């Protein structure tokens, strides 16, 4: 994340500016962070995830949101745009605009070279503060690798790595499984290029 504003903004100033902006930005502690564009692989994976999850959750009390839905971590003040977000049950929003989700159940981030360290570190630290969050999933775009963190009953996070195109990503918290072959459909890995 790169800082794009020099002066500190309030949350209300950020939201007013963000809702009128053509490009998306994240916000934390008075600073705006411009979001970079995504690669072809990143976009394919995000669309594949959104499509497959939406199909599997059709008719169930869950909603799948693309990267245009903001998530707010109230306890830390972070506003962010996960690549894919799932909420189950009644979605809770920060205000009447219904564009800032407060209670995601699952967050999926597609890793990019410029954001990977942040997604694994500080961002995950913020996300862990969301009481509603049961799963945090990191999807590599340059190779077949998914890291699935799931919150256990004692509050600890369990990591399961899946790196076989013939395997499934099991999302037990929503009784759903996604074949990695469908997540990575049409994606060419660097070593295949």
What is the domain-level CATH number for residue 185?
3.90.1570.10
pLDDT at 1 > cutoff 60: no
CA distances from 78 to 111, 146, 179 (A): 19, 24, 32
Distance, in Å, from the CA atom of 137 to the CA atom of 145, rounded to the nearest integer, reads 11
Beta strands 100-101; 25-28: pairing state = unpaired
In a domain, 33, yes or no: no
Domain that holds residue 125: 39-67+83-192
Band (pLDDT 50/70/90 cuts) for residue 35 is confident
Q: Do residues 169 and 137 make contact, with C-beta atoms less than 8 angstroms apart?
A: yes
In a domain, 23, yes or no: no
Total domain count, the chain: 1
Stated pTM of the model: 0.93
Grouping H, G, I as helix, E, B as strand and the rest as coil, residue 151 is strand
Over the stretch 116-144, which tens digit does the pLDDT of each residue have? Answer: 999 999 999 999 999 999 999 999 999 99
Distance, in Å, from the CA atom of 150 to the CA atom of 158, rounded to the nearest integer, reads 5
pLDDT at 192 > cutoff 70: no
| Cα 130–Cα 107–Cα 57 angle in degrees, nearest 5 | 115
Band (pLDDT 50/70/90 cuts) for residue 43 is very high
In a domain, 166, yes or no: yes
């Amino acid at each position: 994340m790169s800082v794009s504003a020099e002066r500190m903004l309030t949350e209300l100033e950020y939201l007013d500016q963000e809702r009128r902006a053509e490009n998306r930005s994240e916000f934390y502690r008075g600073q705006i962070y411009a979001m970079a564009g995504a690669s072809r692989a990143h976009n394919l994976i995000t669309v594949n995830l959104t499509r497959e999850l939406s199909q599997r959750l059709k008719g169930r009390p869950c909603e799948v949101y693309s990267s245009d839905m903001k998530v707010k971590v109230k306890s830390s003040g972070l506003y962010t745009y996960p690549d894919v977000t799932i909420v189950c049950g009644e979605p809770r929003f920060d205000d009447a605009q219904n564009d800032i989700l407060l209670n995601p159940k699952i967050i999926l981030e597609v890793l990019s070279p410029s954001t990977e360290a942040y997604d694994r570190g500080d961002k995950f630290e913020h996300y862990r503060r969301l009481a509603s969050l049961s799963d945090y999933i990191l999807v590599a775009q340059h190779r077949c690798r998914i890291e699935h963190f799931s919150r256990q009953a004692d509050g600890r996070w369990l990591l399961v790595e899946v790196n076989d195109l013939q395997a499934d990503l099991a999302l037990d918290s929503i009784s759903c499984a996604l074949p990695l072959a469908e997540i990575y459909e049409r994606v060419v890995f660097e070593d295949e290029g």
